[in-house]
Structure 1
Amino acid sequence: MRDLPVIDAHHHFWDPVRNDYPWLDPRRPMIPFRYGDYGAMRGRPFLPEDYDALTGHHRVVASVTMEGEWNPADPTGESRWMAGLAARTGRPAAHVAQAWLDRADVEAVLAAQAALPLVKGVRHKPRAAPSPAQVERGAPGSMGDPRWRAGYARLAAHGLHFELQTPWWHLDEALDLVAAHPETPLVLNHTGLPSDRSEEGLAGWRAAMRRLATAPQVWVKISGLGLPGRPWRLEDNRAIIRETIEIFGAGRCLFASNFPVDGLCGSFETIFDGFRAAVEDLPWAEQLALFHDNAIRLYRLGLPAAG
């Protein structure tokens, strides 16, 4: 197999033994989780040496960490901890930080996050409806909330992009948001969460993704494709991977592991072997873009492109 460098565009490092991650604290109640029982992750650190033990034959040359829902009373605490980890180990190469866009302290938080060279963007999971039929436009905490949008409007001044995790039935709200703020790149996490694999569900996901892709500043991470109660299989995910690339183009898609979370569904090797098999017929330059070069551009990593 041809050598392919990988920049993992979305994973976590955390240490819930020493740091405060409420959802990973085994002394606290579990939260509803899209993969079901996540007890195997609770109370267990996931650090560079743990990550390295899982990557197998894949040549991961750099990676980007995502905020892991550190205690929101201290939104910059994880970023400072991550900067210290990078100083000691050389990883991660970039970090996406926590910021609550509808909080009164959003300006101070964004300024503090942007002051850390490791931080390239922020994530705030907006309020989401449990189904397409229950979407309430403008609901408090949603992307249509005026306070939320006011926080989003501050991102460009701090040189930060936004990472969005939301079900596909909220992507029209995201399209409204990026139309109002075209200067701010938006990165859709986890392929728009196509968890409903029925014909109707996939048709809704596909149409929403096509509408969002009309905004040129939107990127998408192909990740988070696990299904509850079953192992990660290429036959479940190949069509979604290829449709996402067809919709957004190879220049705006990135592959990512979402580890250790997606470790609940499959091994790192299984998932990245699946990604590689899904695109093995694409031109080599496009494969390099998906696995490596696009992450350099989006996260401004200062590394040489491979393609």
Structure 2
Amino acid sequence: MKVVDPHIHLWDLKTHHYPWLANPGVSFVGDARALKHDYLIADLLKDAGEIELLKCVHVEANHDPQDPVEETRWLQEVAGAAGSRAMPNGIVAAVDLSAANAADVLEHHAAFANTRGVRQILNVHHDRLYDYVGRHLMREPTWRENFRLLRKHGMSFDAQLYPSQMEEAARLANEHHDTQFIVNHAGMFVDRNSVAGYRAWREGMKTLAQCPNVAVKISGLAMFDHAWTVESLRPYVLETIDTFGVGRAMFASNFPVDGQFGSYGDLWRAYAAIVGAASDAEKNALFVRNAERLYRI
């Protein structure tokens, strides 16, 4: 089985600082204490096993916020190292677009050959259990002004957010129609215990899908379904593909984070089982071609 994985994380705890791994805790996405160890390309390839990993995209791993460019520098070095198979092939770097130095940070990220875009986590939620940032960044004037700089560098934006933020994100996408938006983790549907929660996710995804410059990664589902099965993932996978279409959806692993809840092979085989009736061309788009095209790798 051949895949391009557009959402992986690497870290080297010997040489770099990741605050969340320095003092790991337990949250709704799992027990970070189990992740407090180096995770490098060799570990990813070992986890892949019989899955033929053709290429991958590294998404910022909450590296030291005081020096986000150091993570990109290190990843570019990893990609150029012997035995790495040039992975990661694409880098989605970290930036705080609300910061005074955002323009400089973007300039430095852009200097590295494998940089393709940036991510700044946007998740805000009324329940403190799910709240990441505690502020509505998309509403802040400085953040919005700096967002315009992505176009200058030809960078995409990985949007990690909740359904309650999707309408606002769609307005942002329409204002920046020449910037590629990529929704992380199928929209992070956390409010699963009510009809209203499901409706908010479904309608929010439809609103985003109306923007031609928005695509989606089907990933991170295990963070919200620790005892997942093929059948428990199926409705979220199929609803996401139906909403965005085969041309704007792609599967991803979110490894090693989702590795707390199943093996790399089991996850990809689950995706394959869910879309087993799709055509070969549709499968190629979902597992390989869309990631290559959207991340230009």
TM-score tier, shorter chain, comes to over 0.9
Q: Residue deviations 1:237-278, cap 9 Å, x none?
A: 101101100000010011100000001121111111110001
* Aligned twin of 2:106: 110
TM-score, length-scaled by structure 1: 0.90
Q: Residue deviations 1:270-303, cap 9 Å, x none?
A: 11111000101011101000000011111111xx
In 1, distance between residues paired with 2:124 and 2:51?
35
* Aligned twin of 2:122: 126
In 2, distance between residues paired with 1:92 and 1:181?
27
Cα 1:230/1:296, change in 2 over 3 Å: closer
Q: What is the percentage of aligned positions where both structures have the same residue?
A: 36
Kindly indicate whether residue 216 of structure 2 is the aligned counterpart of residue 216 of structure 1: no
Kindly indicate whether residue 34 of structure 2 is the aligned counterpart of residue 37 of structure 1: no
Q: What aligned pairs does 1:198-277 form with structure 2 within 5 A after superposition?
A: 198-200=193-195, 201-227=197-223, 230-277=226-273
Are 1:218 and 1:252, in contact at CA under 8 Å, matched by a contact in 2? yes
Q: What aligned pairs does 1:56-205 form with structure 2 within 5 A after superposition?
A: 56-88=49-81, 89=84, 90-126=86-122, 128-130=124-126, 140-200=135-195, 201-205=197-201
Q: Residue deviations 1:187-232, cap 9 Å, x none?
A: 0000001123335122221011011100000010000001457323
Which among 19, 22, 27 is matched to residue 19 of structure 2? 22
Deviation at 1:32, TM superposition (A): 6.1
In 1, distance between residues paired with 2:232 and 2:291?
25
Letter in 1 for 2:10: F
In 2, distance between residues paired with 1:227 and 1:110?
30
Deviation at 1:129, TM superposition (A): 2.2
In 2, distance between residues paired with 1:151 and 1:124?
12
Q: Residue deviations 1:120-141, cap 9 Å, x none?
A: 000011251235xx99xxx855
Are 1:128 and 1:142, in contact at CA under 8 Å, matched by a contact in 2? no
- Describe the SS at the equivalent of 2:17: coil
In 2, distance between residues paired with 1:32 and 1:159?
37
In 2, distance between residues paired with 1:177 and 1:81?
31
Are 1:121 and 1:163, in contact at CA under 8 Å, matched by a contact in 2? yes
Task: Give structure 2 stretches of 5+ with no counterpart.
Answer: none
Which among 48, 51, 66 is matched to residue 55 of structure 1? 48
Q: How many correspondences in the alignment?
A: 289
In 2, distance between residues paired with 1:256 and 1:123?
16
* Greater shift in the superposed pair: 199-208 or 185-194: 199-208
Cα root mean square deviation, aligned: 1.8
